[in-house]
Structures are given as C-alpha cells and as structure tokens.
Structure 1
Amino acid sequence: MTKQSKRRYGRDRSHSPPPSSSSLKKHHHSYANSPQHQNHDMGKRPTFTSYLESPYLHPKIKLLCEIIANTSPLSVENVLDDNGIRVIQEDVEQVLKLSYGYPAAAVKFFRWAGYQLKDRHTPYAWNLLVDLLGKNSLFDAMWDAIKSMKEEGILSLATFASVFSSYVLGNRVEEAFMTFEVMDQYGVPRDIVALNSLLSAICRDGKTGKADEFLRIAKNKIRLDADSYAILLEGWENEGNVANARRTFGEMVVEMGWDPSNVPAYDSFLCTLIKAPSGFHEALKFLNTMKERRCSPGVKFFGVALEECVKKSDARGASLLWEAMTVRSDFKPDTQMYNMMISLHSQLANFDIAQRYLDDMVYDGVFPDSKSYNILLQYLLKNRKLHEASSLYTEMVKNECLPTQANCVAAVRLYLDSGDPYMAIKVWKFMVENFGSDLEETGNFLVSDLRDCNRVQEAVKYAEDMIDRKIKLSSSTLTKLKQTLVKAGKGPVYDELLKKWKLR
C-alpha cells in the first residue's frame, strides 16, 4: 500500500464516494459503529459465522477474535498492542473470516496488522475485508478498500463478485448493475465471466427477472455463453417459473444451438418442467428431443424426476426414466436412485420388482445401504410377507446393513402374532444388543406373548434378561407370569424372579 492510500484508507471516513460518482449514488454509512447498532438499508441480514462456532481454533486466532468481538473499536489497536501479539498474513485471513459480525473492530484489526506486515496484506485478505464491509452494507468503506486495492494493483474479478453479492443481498440490485458498468475503470475486464458472476449473484437471491432484464441489454455488448443461460435457467427453476424457463431455453437453443456439454442448463430446464402441474409428460418430450440431438441432462434431473415419480406412485414414468438413464454408457444410477425405485415398487407392493432392483445394484458398481434394505423390509412387514421378510432380515444383518428400531418393533409383534416366536426372539436379541433405549414396550410384549403361547420357560428367561439389562419389566407382565407359574406348581421360580425385580 502506498503512503497516500494508507493514510486515506486509515481514516474513519463516514462518506466516501462509490465508483464513478456520476453513475452511482452515495451511501452514508459509518463503519465506526458496532453492527448491532447499524441501521442499514438492507434487504436481508446475513447470518455470520463467529469464532464461537469454531471450537478447534489456534489459541492466538481465538484471542484475536475475542479482542475484536469484545472490545470497543476505538480501543482495539491499544488492546492488541498490550497483548504483544505478532501476526502473519494467514492469521489476518483467518481472523477476518470469523469477524464479519464486528466490521468496525475488524477494520481496526486489519489496519493494526498492516503495520506489522509492512502493508503486505494478501489479495485474499483484502477481498475478505471488502466482503466483510459489503455484507454489513458499509458500502462507502467498501469502496475505500477497493480504491486502495486498485493502487496496489491487486483487484480481481473475485473482488467485484463480492461487491455484486453484497449489493444484491442489500436489495440494491441497480447498484450492482452500475458496478458492473464501471469495473473496467478499475482494471478488471467487463467480460462474459464477470457478467455471469453478476447474473449468478442476482439469481441466487431470487431476482431472476431483474437478471433477465439486464441480460437483454448487456448481450448487445457482450456475447453470451452457455453458462449465462444455465444461470438464468437455474434461477427460473428455483422460482418455479415455467413460462420464462421455456422462453429462455428456446432463446438458448437459437443462440447457442444444441451442445452436449451444456448439462446444467438441461438439468435446470427439465427440473422446472417436471415440478410443474402436469409437467411430467412435457419433460419426457423434451428429454426425447435432447436424445435425438445427442444431448442429455445429468444426475440432478434424473434424481428429481424419480423423486416426483415416487411422490405420485408413477411406476410407468419411473421405468421410462430408468431406461433413459441406463442406456447411457457414461451414466450409472447411484444408491439413492436405486433406493427410490425400491421405495416406489415397495409402496405399490411390487415386491419382486423391488427385490430385483436391490439385487441389481452391485452390477452397476453401487451397493445397498441400510436404507435400501429397510425400505423393502418395512413394506414386507406391513403386507405380512413373513417368509420374504425373514430372508431379507437375515441378509441385511449378514451384510451389516442394520434394520431400524421401528422395523424391529414391527417384526417382533408380527412374528409373535403369526405364531413364529423363533424369529421374534431372534429380532429381540438383535434389539437388546444394538439399541440402548425404548425397549420396554417390545420386551414386555415378547414376555407376555411367550407366556400366552405356553412357552413359559422362555418367558421367564427373557424376563430375567430384561431385569439384568435394566429394561423395565412391568408389574402387569410380572402378574401374568405369577399366575402361570403358580398354577404350574413353579412358585419358587416366580419368587426368585420377584426378588430380582425388587432389587432392580
């Protein structure tokens, strides 16, 4: 930093002119106030990450952040001096990243660190400062920093991308446009990459209409590329604007033609269509059109489309999508996609088909996870497919894809109700070994049912085991056991059980 720029940036300026004062309005903000007391004209207040949410900080970084967060901006430099801390460039970067909530004190820290570093802050540190000030709507101070960066020759597109984002978040989109118009005066090219950065900031904030309006003007001077249209299409997707998505997609095809590499644009367009009412068939129609032109969407669309099929229980649509995916040599369904197909066919009680998808996963180089098995097990139990459920349960435990506790509870009850205490006990043993809570109801049901089925010896065994494991055996269950044991002349067995129960 030159002496002139250091002196200018070092002063606490309340009003500094933004770029090209003839085209940008002034913003009257002072960064000498704490952010809690700033009344900025902001669209939405960002949520800042602080050092308190970073538990593994180096002690020096933590101390610096604590000073910034808990010291009056007027006293920050003196407190830093009193602590005798020495900093390096990386320290400044890390501290700034965690000090967005304290812009006034962070600026004082930045200036204090500059004296130690002989004004050799990294470009990244400068960009962080610009972003910190912009996200707090301290735009005058932000432009002071940018002018100092210009004098140092370290401005970049990343700097202006931050400015675009800050203006958009502050609900000042017009000033983001104006910044784009003057950025070449600061030595940063006003090219398609910069334009796309601006469009992205605007569309991310749900203002795609404004981005579209500006694009129609800008494209007279800058030739658009595929990314420009992809950014707009993603914006329309996020806003669910089908009509504008159709229009933008049509313009893209006219201007850019069909490009197999333009996957993000195809993804967003088809996702917009398929989420619309009755949009599934239109999406499939465009999918076929793309296929004819050797173009295709990516994993994003197929995932969204399959999810829509599951919601609507549309097995036929899901099969068409699956066929469109699997014929491609460059694309393989992942575990999540297989799980959606398993879920869909399980819900429809197409268990043979669901099992086939489960078995086919390994052929695509993916492997079932616990969810894959549990979805199918849940519906097999619900439909009382006991033989199939038993086989699946055994397979999933063998493969270390553990059943959920909810499925285990359902299985124990179902097997007992169906006269298969062997499988019920097998599942119960798994439960007590793998789940540490919420076992009382199922355990008491098991003991009571075993007693009702004249399997008294086993009922006593698992009652004792529950007591040993500190799983509450209810008094009603104990009473039932007493009646049966006394009637069978085994009162001493009950007395021993009662003794353990009282000592629990």
Structure 2
Amino acid sequence: MATAKPDNPVHPPPLAIGGEPSPAPFVLGPNDPRVRSLCDILTHTPTTELERVLSSCGIVPVPELVEAVLCHSYSSPASAVQFFRWSGRSLKHTPRAWNLMVDILGRNSLFDAMWDAIRSMKQEGGVLSTATFASAFGSYCAAGKIKEAVMTFEVMDRYGVSQDIVAVNSLLSAICRQDGRTADAADFFDRIKTRVPPDADTFAILFEGWEKEGNTARAKTTFGEMIIRVGWNSNNMSAYDAFLNTLVRASQPQEALKFLTVMKSNNCLPGLRFFSNALEILVKHNDANHALALWDIMVTGSGLVPDLVMFNAMISLLCNNQKIDFAFRFLDEMPFYGAFPDSLTYNAIFECLVRNKRAREAELFFREMKKNEQPLTPSNCAAAIRMFFDQFDPAAALEVWSYLMEELMIPDNESANEVLLGLAEFGRLSFATRYAEDMFNRGIELRFTVIEKLKNSFQKAGKLDCYNRITRKMKQQ
C-alpha cells in the first residue's frame, strides 16, 4: 500500500506495497545545493518560463537528483510534470521517479493526468509495479473515491501487473485508512476472496479497521472467517492484537477473555502490545477483576515478561479496588520477572494501607520502604501522620515526621499541620510547643484551624503562656 501522506507534504515517505513501508532508497537530502536550487526554480518560476530556466540553470539531471526534487514537489504538481519531462530528455527515468510522479498527480486529485502517466509507464516497459497501483489506490481513497480505487484494481492485469494478495492488501489498507469505510473494504474482500486467497495480513488490515470503528460484531465475524481460511498461526499476532483490542475498547473484556482462552489453547496468544494496551484500558475503567483475569491468562505459563510499568499499573489498580492482598502478591512476584519495585510501587501500596487504616501493616511497610531507600510522597506522609494519630499510634506518626524532616528535608505544610493537630488531640502540649517552634524556624505555615485547636488545648490545660510564646514566635517569622 502507499503510505498515507498529509496534504501537499514537503517530503513523502517511501512508496510501499503489501501493507509495509518499502525500504527507502538513496535520496539526496534537501540541503544538497542542486536540490535546493531546482526546488526554488520550480516554486518561483511561472510554468511558461520553467523549461527555459531549467535549461539555463547549468544543473545536469541525474536519477537520484530527479527523485529528490520530486519528493519535494507535491505542492507544485504542474511544475513537477514539466520538470519530469525536461529531465526525461537527458536520462531514462527510474521506476521510483515514475511512481513519485504518479503519486504527486494522484495526491493532488489530478486523476486524468495520473492515468496518462500510468499509460506512459506501460509503454516504457518494466517500470509499472504493484507500488504504482498502490499509490493510485491511496490517492483515490483519500479523495473518497472508493469505487474508482476498486476499478483501478480490476484493470491492473491489463497493464501487466498481477492482481495478487499484495495488491489486494494494498487496496484494503487504503480503504480502511478512511474513517468509516471498513465495510467497503469488507465488501471488496468478500468479492475477491475466492479469486485471491487471503493471508494473515488481509485479516489484520480488516481487524485494524474494525478496531478503529469499534465494530465488534463485524470483528467477530471476520475472526471466524480468518480461522477457517488461514487457521491458527502464532505468527498472526497483529491480527489477534487488533481483534482483541476491538473487544476491550468496546467494553467487552469478558468476550476478550473468552477468545484469549481459546487462543492460548491453540498456542496463539497475542503479544505484549495487546497485553499492555488492554491493561491500560482496564485500568482506565477501574476494572480490577477483568485485569486480574487478563494477567493470569497472559502471564501464567506463556513466557511473556511484564515490565515495571505494567506491574505498577496493576498494583495501583488493585490498591484502588481495596485488593491489597493481591497487590502484595504482585509486589512479591516482581523480581521473578526482572521488574524491581520503585517508589511508585511502594507508595501505591502504602497509600492503600493508610486509606484502609491498617496501621500496624503501614508502620512495618514504612520501615521496609526506608530500608529499601524508597521515599514516601509528601501527600502519603500527611495522610499517614493523620491515620497513625487516629489509630492511637503517635509514635509512628512522629516517626514519619522525623523521616520527612531528617531524610527527605521537605518542609511540608500539610504534614506539619497534621502533627500539631494530633499532638493537641493527645494532649502532648510540650511536644506541640517544641515541634511548633521548629516548624516556624523552617518557615512552615499553620492553618487557622490548627492554631485555634492549639489555643483551645493550651487553654484547657491552663498553659496559655506556652501558647502565647508560640504565637509570638510565629509572628516573628
């Protein structure tokens, strides 16, 4: 197929066939002085003067120079035609130069001129190829002329080019690139499949179209036909990926899991691309149950190796769904896959323990984090301090604060306010005084509600003088 191009590109990708880009031939770069000079002539010279200026410019056209100039002439099709004719008087154009000319004309919807070029290529002999027609398919489809693209396929054999599976796939791909036109591609496929047997690429192209359009019903039908016609083959990963992605994106994860189970039994499990995409979608939908089932099918006994990003996504999802025991299981499994937990991993689990008020486990896990040099986030510090005070463990709360100040050196306002609130609630007013003075020295700001709480606590204890000392210190900052 011809690689899709934007309107009037400056430098198009190499022409391609069979659904994959062709290797790029040697092409002179735009900084070559001859290329710059000729492109400047084509851009700024009136067409009536163009041949005279080209003939007097002193530049001798050679094949790679002609190809380079044509690559930069998509926005000037009339000038490109004249340049092509002028250079053709001095050399025999390469097949690539001819194909570029066909592509320039087609991309500018100059279809009559495009066909004139194709007929001239036939007369030249040996320059027409599937790539030529793939370019025509792409141009017609980009212009919304699907019927004309199909008619172009039907006349290929008259020009000595085989209507083989590469040509079929090129046309299917060109149609499927257009929004909402996969049904037209499927109609063409239904008409041609008895004449030209499909291959795995054929179905992969259709699946990508159904995936883009979210058409799960047609995707399932196409999947059934693929199994009948080409069977199970572990090399068809792109087809399996696109089909399963269609189901997952359409919020049918249960259906995707059913097909996955069947695929696995036939040794045709998709690869990490699908696994990663599907996991991302399930995380976005906060669907922990289906994510767990997906993980078990994809990883258990398959040889697939999930990476740190995937583990972190899974652990965060499990923690968000209160499945902390599963999260610990994944944490323990990570080293076996060469994925070592980082601060994101640890903070997700710690935040879940704090949120669920599992104080003893949070305290032990916090110490493990310190041992492994995995820093807590400031928000997790503040939440942990609040939780530890609520769970009657002020020592653990102050341990977190000390860690924050001594090891992370972060003057966190939120954590500081939680420390003073907790100390006031526990009646630890001497501690509150000492910590408050240290906080003021660090430039930490206290909320009004915290100051009022301190005032009430000191007043009840008959220690307003201590409170006044704190406020004087605060005003000095």
Q: Percent identity?
A: 41
The equivalent of 1:240 in structure 2 is 214
The equivalent of 1:171 in structure 2 is 144
Asked if 2 retains the 8 angstrom alpha-carbon contact of 1:346 and 1:379, the reply is yes
User: How far apart in 1 are the matches of 2:346 and 2:105?
Assistant: 51
Amino acid at match of 1:423: V
Q: Within the alignment, does 1:488 sit opposite 2:469 as a pair?
A: yes
Counterparts of 1:126-137 in structure 2 under 5 Å?
126-137=98-109
Asked if 2 retains the 8 angstrom alpha-carbon contact of 1:180 and 1:190, the reply is yes
TM-score of the two chains, using structure 1 as the length reference: 0.66
2:236 to 262, 266, 281: 262
Compute the displacement of 1:178 (Å). 1.4
The equivalent of 1:216 in structure 2 is 190
Residues 301 and 71 of structure 1, relative CA distance in 2, 3 Å threshold: same
How many residue pairs match? The answer is 429
Residues 413 and 237 of structure 1, relative CA distance in 2, 3 Å threshold: closer
User: How far apart in 2 are the matches of 1:339 and 1:281?
Assistant: 23
User: How far apart in 1 are the matches of 2:113 and 2:261?
Assistant: 53
Asked if 1 retains the 8 angstrom alpha-carbon contact of 2:61 and 2:90, the reply is no
1:230 to 201, 204, 216: 204
The equivalent of 2:385 in structure 1 is 415
Asked if 2 retains the 8 angstrom alpha-carbon contact of 1:50 and 1:98, the reply is yes
Amino acid at match of 2:108: N
SS of the aligned residue for 1:488 comes to helix
Deviations 1:234-255 (A, max 9, x none): 3223222233223222222333
1:347 to 311, 317, 320: 320
SS of the aligned residue for 1:349 comes to coil
Compute the displacement of 1:177 (Å). 0.8
Counterparts of 1:29-428 in structure 2 under 5 Å?
46=6, 67=40, 71=44, 74=47, 100=74, 102-104=75-77, 107=80, 111=84, 114=87, 118-119=90-91, 123-124=95-96, 126-147=98-119, 149-150=121-122, 151=124, 153-205=126-178, 206-276=180-250, 279-307=252-280, 309-310=282-283, 314-368=287-341, 371-385=344-358, 407-412=377-382, 414-415=384-385, 418=389, 419=394, 420-424=397-401, 426-427=403-404
Asked if 2 retains the 8 angstrom alpha-carbon contact of 1:413 and 1:424, the reply is no
Asked if 2 retains the 8 angstrom alpha-carbon contact of 1:96 and 1:106, the reply is no
Compute the displacement of 1:267 (Å). 3.0
Compute the displacement of 1:424 (Å). 3.8
The equivalent of 1:17 in structure 2 is none
TM-score of the two chains, using structure 2 as the length reference: 0.69
CA RMSD across the alignment: 4.9
Deviations 1:112-166 (A, max 9, x none): 9948x95466654554444344333233343444455552733333332222122
Asked if 1 retains the 8 angstrom alpha-carbon contact of 2:66 and 2:87, the reply is no
SS of the aligned residue for 1:361 comes to helix
Asked if 2 retains the 8 angstrom alpha-carbon contact of 1:485 and 1:494, the reply is no
User: How far apart in 2 are the matches of 1:84 and 1:458?
Assistant: 84
- Bigger mean CA offset, 407-416 vs 190-199: 407-416
Deviations 1:93-114 (A, max 9, x none): 66655664x2347727954994
User: How far apart in 1 are the matches of 2:57 and 2:442?
Assistant: 62
5+ long unaligned stretches in structure 2: 12-28, 424-430, 455-463
User: How far apart in 1 are the matches of 2:447 and 2:9?
Assistant: 53
Residues 391 and 212 of structure 1, relative CA distance in 2, 3 Å threshold: same
Asked if 1 retains the 8 angstrom alpha-carbon contact of 2:41 and 2:53, the reply is no
Deviations 1:404-440 (A, max 9, x none): xxx533533542574524424644778777xxxxxxx
- Bigger mean CA offset, 154-163 vs 196-205: 154-163
Asked if 1 retains the 8 angstrom alpha-carbon contact of 2:248 and 2:256, the reply is yes
Asked if 2 retains the 8 angstrom alpha-carbon contact of 1:68 and 1:106, the reply is no
SS of the aligned residue for 1:140 comes to helix
